[in-house]
Structure 1
Amino acid sequence: MTTTENLLQTLQTEIEQTSYGESPAELYEPIRYIMALGGKRFRPLLTLLAASLYTDDWKNALKPAIAVEVFHNFTLMHDDIMDKAPLRRGKPTVHEKWNSNTAILSGDVMLIRAYDFLIDIKKEDLRNVLLRFNQTAAEVCEGQQLDMNFETRWDVTEDEYLNMIRLKTSVLLGFALELGGIIGGADSEATKLLYEAGESMGIGFQLKDDLLDVYGDPEKFGKLVGGDIIANKKTFLLIEALTKAEGKTGQELNDWISAETFDKEEKVAAVRGIYDTLGIRALTEQKISDYFAKGIDCLERLSVDPERKKSLLQFVHQLVEREQ
C-alpha cells in the first residue's frame, strides 16, 4: 500500500523539478516563487490518493495533480491582488514583490500551464476531464465574485455563504478527487462519489478555517488569529452571530462592526466573547462535523478494497483534526 508520506514526497519533488518557462524571467520567476512557497499541497495529494484507490500506476496522475496545484496557486495570486494582501504564507505576495501587472500576467500563464499538465491524460478521458476542469474553474471564479459581493452586504444568509464557499473552495477539492478517480480507471458512479466527498469536505475545511481564525492557537495557526473579526469579514461565525444576537448583545456586536477606530486585541476578544455567549463555536463545530461526515460516508460507499482506502481516510481525518 502506498503511504501518504510517499505520495507527498514524490509530489513535492515533481513540483520542484517542474519548469513553467524561462524567458522573459520577469514572467516566470513569480510562478516559481509562489509555487516554492509551499502550502499544504493537499489538493494534488487528494488526486494521487484517489488514483491509488484504483491503480498501482498512480504516477500517471502526477502531472494532472500538479495541474490542480498550479491552478489553485493561480487563483491565490489573483485573489491576493484583489484583496491587496501583503503576505502569502508569511512571505511577500507576488504583486508586492513585483507589481500587480506582473502578478496578473504570471497568473495568466499559470492557468495556461495547468492545461499543459492535463494534456497527457488518456485520450478517451481527456475531453471529459477538460470539461470538468473548465466547469470547476468557472465556479471558482463565481465563488470569488460572490465573496466580493458579500463585502458590501449585511444580509448574507447561511445558505448563501455555504454556497459561496462551495464554489470558491470546495468544487476544486471535489474535482481533485474526481480527477484521480478518472485517471485510476474508476467508473462514473465512483467518480461522482469522489466528487461529492471532496465537495462536502471542502465546505467542512473552509468552515474549519473560519473557526481557527477565531479560536486557533496562534503558534499553530500560522497567521494572525482574529484577522476575520478585525476586517469584519463575512464568515459563518459572524453570519450566525448576526442572526442570533438580540438586545444588548446585538447592539454590542453592531457597535464593534461599525467602529472605525479600535484596539485590535480588544475587538477580537470582545467579539469572541459574543460568539461564546451565543454558542457559535459549538454550532460551527457541529456544522464542520456534519460536512466531513457526509464526505467520509461517500468515501466509505466506494466499492474498493478497504486496505486501499486506508491512506485516504487517514488523511481526511487529519484534515478534520487540523489546528492550522
Structure 2
Amino acid sequence: MKSFEELLKSFETYFSERQFPSSPATLYDPAQYILGIGGKRVRPVCVLMGNELFDDLKEDAYHVAAAVELFHNFTLIHDDIMDKAPLRRGMQTVHTKYGEPTAILAGDATFVQSYVKLSAIQPPLLQEVMPLFNRTALEVCEGQQLDMDFEQKASVSLDEYVEMITLKTSVLLAASLKLGSIIGGASKGNRDHLYEFGKNLGIAFQIQDDYLDAFGDPAKFGKQVGGDILANKKTFLMIHALETASPSDKEKLEQLLQSNPEDKIAQVLAIFKNAGVDSWALQLKNEYFEKALQHLDAIAVMSKRKEPLQQLAKFLIQREY
C-alpha cells in the first residue's frame, strides 16, 4: 500500500497533461486555468486509495480519479460565481479573470469533460461506476442549493445543517472512495462500509473547518479567523450557540447577526465560549471520526492495508489549517 503522498505524486503526474483541447482557447484555457491553481487533490487520491485497498492500482482508477477532480473543479467555478468570490487559493477566480459568461461555459465544459474521462474505463465497470457518479453529482448540487436556501432562513437546525454538509461536502469524498473500491473489485459490503467511512470523515472534516475558522491560529490557518462570523454563516458553532446560549447571550448574538461592530468577532467568540461551543465542537468532531473508523475497521481486508486511510483520516481532522 502506498501513502497518500505517494499516490498524490502519481496522480499529479497523470493529471499534469492538459485536460482540454486547445481550441477554442477562449473556452478551454479558462477551464484549464483552475486546474493549475492546484489544491489538496484529496478526492481523486481517495479514488486511488479505494482501489488499492482491495487490489493493485488499475489504469481505470486514474480515469475515474480525473473525472472526480474535474467534477469538483466544475463545482468550484460555479460556486465562486454564486459567492462572488474574487480569489481562490490566492489567485483570481475564473469569473474574475475571464468574465462571468465565459466562466459559466468553462464550468459546463469541465463537467462534460469529467464524463469523457469516465467513458474511458472498461464497459462492465462503467455500468457500476456511472450510477454512483450521477447520484453524487446531483447530491452535490442539492447541497449547494440547501446552503443558499439557508442564507434566507432565520434559523437552521443542527440536523438540517448536517444534511446540507453531507450533500455538499461529504458525499463526494465518500463516493470517491467507493468508486475506487469498485475498480478494485470490492464486495458490496466492503464498498458500503468504505462509503460510510468517507461520509462520516467528511462531516468531521467540516466540523474541524468551522472550528478553525473561529478558534484557529491565524498564522497556521492561512486566512483571517472569524470570516464565517463576519459573513453571518450558519456553521455548526453558530447553530449550537443559538440553541444553547443563555437568554441574554442569545439576544446579544441575534443582535450581532444584524450588525457589524468593529469587535464583532471578539464578541461572538466570547458568547461561543460562554456556551461551551468550542469543547462541544471538538466532541462532535470526534464522534463522527469514531463512526468513520468503526466502518473502516469493519472492512474485511488486512489491517495493514488500511493504514494509509487511517493516516489520512487523522490528518484531515487534526489539521490546523
Scaled by the length of structure 2, what TM-score is found? 0.97
- Distance between the aligned counterparts of 2:86 and 2:311, measured in 1? 35
- Distance between the aligned counterparts of 1:280 and 1:65, measured in 2? 37
Question: How far did 1:229 drift?
Answer: 0.1
Structure 1 pair 100/235, CA: closer, same or farther in 2 (3 Å)? Answer: same
Task: Work out the number of aligned pairs and report it.
Answer: 321
5+ residue gaps, structure 1? none
Which amino acid in 2 is paired with 1:155?
S
Residue 303 of structure 1 aligns to a residue in which SS? coil
- Distance between the aligned counterparts of 2:11 and 2:110, measured in 1? 18
Partner of 2:140: 140
Partner of 2:197: 197
Partner of 1:278: 275
| Matches for 1:79-90 after TM superposition, within 5 Å | 79-90=79-90
Question: Quick check: 1:166–1:202 contact (8 Å CA) kept in 2?
Answer: yes
- The reply to whether residue 301 of structure 1 matches residue 315 of structure 2 is no
- Distance between the aligned counterparts of 1:105 and 1:222, measured in 2? 31
5+ residue gaps, structure 2? none
Which amino acid in 1 is paired with 2:314?
H
Deviates more, 1:15-24 or 1:180-189: 15-24
Partner of 1:31: 31
Give deviations 1:87-111, integer Å, cap 9, x for gaps. Answer: 1111111111111111110000111
Question: How far did 1:225 drift?
Answer: 1.4
Residue 294 of structure 2 aligns to a residue in which SS? helix
Scaled by the length of structure 1, what TM-score is found? 0.96
Question: How far did 1:161 drift?
Answer: 0.5
Deviates more, 1:113-122 or 1:196-205: 113-122
Question: Quick check: 2:48–2:57 contact (8 Å CA) kept in 1?
Answer: no
Which amino acid in 1 is paired with 2:43?
R
Question: How far did 1:119 drift?
Answer: 1.5
Question: How far did 1:82 drift?
Answer: 0.5
Partner of 2:65: 65
Partner of 2:78: 78
Question: Quick check: 2:171–2:199 contact (8 Å CA) kept in 1?
Answer: yes
Stretches of 4+ aligned residues off by more than 3 angstroms = none
- Distance between the aligned counterparts of 2:29 and 2:205, measured in 1? 31
- Distance between the aligned counterparts of 2:126 and 2:11, measured in 1? 22
Question: Quick check: 2:67–2:118 contact (8 Å CA) kept in 1?
Answer: yes
Question: Quick check: 2:128–2:182 contact (8 Å CA) kept in 1?
Answer: no
Question: How far did 1:223 drift?
Answer: 2.1
- Distance between the aligned counterparts of 1:60 and 1:247, measured in 2? 57
- Distance between the aligned counterparts of 1:223 and 1:70, measured in 2? 26
- Distance between the aligned counterparts of 2:18 and 2:59, measured in 1? 15
Question: How far did 1:128 drift?
Answer: 2.0
- Distance between the aligned counterparts of 2:261 and 2:95, measured in 1? 29
CA RMSD, Structure 1 to Structure 2 (Å): 1.2
Question: Quick check: 2:245–2:274 contact (8 Å CA) kept in 1?
Answer: no
Could you tell me the percent identity over the aligned residues?
A: 47
Question: Quick check: 1:121–1:183 contact (8 Å CA) kept in 2?
Answer: no
Partner of 2:316: 319
Question: How far did 1:58 drift?
Answer: 4.1
Question: How far did 1:28 drift?
Answer: 1.0
Partner of 2:264: 267
- Distance between the aligned counterparts of 2:5 and 2:169, measured in 1? 24
- Distance between the aligned counterparts of 2:47 and 2:84, measured in 1? 31
- Distance between the aligned counterparts of 1:181 and 1:18, measured in 2? 27
- Distance between the aligned counterparts of 2:16 and 2:242, measured in 1? 45
Question: How far did 1:18 drift?
Answer: 3.6
Partner of 2:217: 217
